[in-house]
Structure 1
Amino acid sequence: MSYSNIPAGKDAPNDIYVIIEIPANAAPIKYEIDKDSDALFVDRFMGTAMFYPANYGYVPNTLSEDGDPLDVLVVTPHPVAAGSVIRCRPVGKLNMEDDGGIDAKLIAVPHEKLSPLYKDVQEYTDLPPLLISQVEHFFSH
């Protein structure tokens, strides 16, 4: 299987596919799927004791302003295994900056065909306030 053969979604930008690199609640280790080999590499050990507040991945066959595929945080009821592809619906965006410049992160929930839990979530502010605080705290430290 090649991740490069996976489209951005069924109806992007409203119905997207996300390739998970890091499951929710994972230890502070940054993993990245190498776009040439499709292997999951350890990118770095993060200097924080925090866990990932949501699944972290990217939309295949996209290019964000920093030159990488578009990053996505996927809120799910359970952690999703690294390397999995999940159909999602974006509900918000975090505007971040890193050494490469603008580094936006989409916030998404599973498509309603995967779980009815998030059918009433239309914007990220509809998510639990504690989760929103955890996401903001994670990316500001």
Structure 2
Amino acid sequence: MFSALHQLPAHVANSRTRIHVVVETPKGSRNKVAFEPELGAFKLKGVLPEGHSFPYDFGFVPSTKAADGDPLDVLLLLDAPTFPGCVVEARLIGALEIEQQEADGTTQRNDRLLAVAATSRLHKGIHEISDLPEEMLHEIEHFFHSYNEAKGGEIKVLHRVGAKKAHALLAQARQ
């Protein structure tokens, strides 16, 4: 038995390719929600400006720690929005390797994994980042740029990488 969402296993039992994603902010939300392990609850971290919203569900892979000290971030493609705290089985399709400059001027890596819900009907044919339309990738990158700008920071997408590299990033971040 696991005591908290952030302690769930990163991988689904008996699977080398399926991962758990804990949704923090659902698609279409302006509210940025994050799981706070010390509280054992979800906390409102901010509100996006009018006209901005999350393009897909956003969350994290449990039992991981990224370069920024937080669990690995995941943008999750699925058929309809879920809710904060929903655990979704997913498959990695790639990642955006990102360098992020904070409002205080410090720079750090803050990669975003891209995944598809295992039960998705709309996205069942997507297995690699290269399967996504270029326009969709551009819109995802634009979202991350504008989201960070609204917080007083900047990002630079260093690389778009496929599923194999995304799994390597996951292995590196597993606690």
TM-score bracket relative to the smaller structure = 0.7 to 0.9
1:41 aligned onto 2:54: no
Q: Deviations over 1:79-126 (max 9, x none)?
A: 011110000001010122233610000000011xx2344332121231
Distance in 1, matches of 2:36 and 2:76, equals 20
Which moved further from structure 2: 115-124 or 47-56? 115-124
1:110 aligned onto 2:113: no
Greater share of residues in helix = 2
Identity %: 31
Bigger CA radius of gyration: 2
CA RMSD of aligned residues (A): 1.9
**Structure 1: unaligned runs, 5 residues or longer:** none
1:18 to 17, 21, 24: 21
TM-score by length of 1: 0.86
1:125 to 105, 115, 130: 130
**Structure 2: unaligned runs, 5 residues or longer:** 147-175
Count of aligned pairs between the two proteins: 137
Q: 1:35: how far off?
A: 1.3
Task: Give the match for residue 9 of structure 1.
Answer: 11
Task: Give the match for residue 139 of structure 1.
Answer: 144
- 1:20 partner letter: V
1:72 to 63, 71, 74: 74
Q: Deviations over 1:44-83 (max 9, x none)?
A: 2234631111100000110111111000000111001111
